[in-house]
Amino acid sequence: MILSASRRTDIPNYYSDWFLNRLGEGFLYVRNPMNPRQVSEIVLSPETVDCIVFWTKNPEPMMNRLGELKNYPFCFQFTLTGYGADVERNVPDKLTVMAPIFRRLSERIGRERVVWRYDPILFTEKYSPEYHLELFGKLARALKGCTERCVISFVDTYVKNRKAMAALRIYEPGGQQLSAFAERLGRTAAENGMEMFSCCERMDLEHCGIKHGSCIDQTLIERVIGCGTQLRRDRNQRPGCGCMESIDIGRYDTCRNGCVYCYASHDPAGSTSGGRSYNPLSPILCGELTESDRVTPRQMQSVRKEQLSLF
């Protein structure tokens, strides 16, 4: 199986101790976000976990413990944008703090295993296309040689972020302007040795040098684990998503990054209620099992072509 850690929260930044404790114990529990009383038991043996995909805006709290992942293939989706604290409230300065952390992570694990995400892109009076192009260029030059892939997407509005999006007064450029903008991003990425991909975009950007991509990407995972796979498209993601199937182990409303565009938290300030119940020794993230919970072992099948037994 592919383990996603996590679309729902920043585990490397805030909950890496919990995650590494769970690897040591060999299992964890995860609640069904649609039915919280329904809990899945996930086995975390190296024979069961084919690859771990980490999602983060700051992996520094996890950096000194990367050696504990030696038995597991893994890669990082590292989000690094040009926004200030008005949009990403609890993320340190991008050029002076986060870009050097990105470089250190790349040096530790290899540039092929760190994907740069410059997403989501939103436009306001302050964060204009010209602003993005300037900051993207600075970041691309700072990350040159540290990654092979850059992923972009344009912001979507959800129930959880609708109010914050309205407060920012975001706007969408016209099609011709957006195409010219994307083309310049693609050219800058190529100049700095990166392939550029779009994430969950229905708009065709191939003419801009930007390929349709996916976050749980079969080609990347096969490169990381060193063999072919029998991955299938994840039908539970939003329309346009090209990701392969994975098991997400996070919990909504627990991320403290404070990103106003976030779809995974009701509180854009980052003072999430779910995170207050964090216990690094609990088998379940930010909570405890109760008598009313129904725990079911999750059946998992290896996706490696060389190993297709059922665990």
Q: pLDDT tens digits for the chain (311 residues)?
A: 999 999 999 999 999 999 999 999 999 999 999 999 999 999 999 999 999 999 999 999 999 999 999 999 999 999 999 999 999 999 999 999 999 999 999 999 999 999 999 999 999 999 999 999 999 999 999 999 999 999 998 877 666 667 777 778 888 888 788 889 999 999 999 999 999 998 866 666 777 778 888 889 999 999 999 999 999 888 777 666 778 899 999 999 999 999 988 887 776 555 556 678 899 999 999 999 999 999 999 988 899 986 544 43
Q: What tokens does 272 get?
A: 């999430």
Residue (of 50, 1, 3) closest to 22 by Cα position: 3
pLDDT value of residue 307:
53
pLDDT value of residue 233:
83
Query: Cα separation of 201 and 207, whole Å?
Result: 14
Residue (of 263, 76, 245) closest to 156 by Cα position: 263
Instruction: Compute the CA torsion angle 235, 71, 102, 84 (nearest 10 deg).
Output: 50
How many residues comprise the chain? 311
Residue (of 253, 294, 258, 293) closest to 274 by Cα position: 253
pTM of the model: 0.92
Residue (of 28, 55, 105, 104) closest to 257 by Cα position: 55
pLDDT value of residue 308:
46
Question: What secondary structure, in 3-state letters, does 165-213 show?
Answer: HHHHCCECCCHHHHHHHHHHHHHHHHHCCCEEEEECCCCCCHHHCEEEE
Residue (of 234, 252, 254) closest to 244 by Cα position: 234
pLDDT value of residue 188:
97
Q: What tokens does 57 get?
A: 């805006």
Longest Cα separation, the chain: 57
Query: Cα separation of 268 and 176, whole Å?
Result: 32
Residue (of 193, 78, 83) closest to 140 by Cα position: 193
Cβ atoms of residues 49 and 39 within 8 Å: no
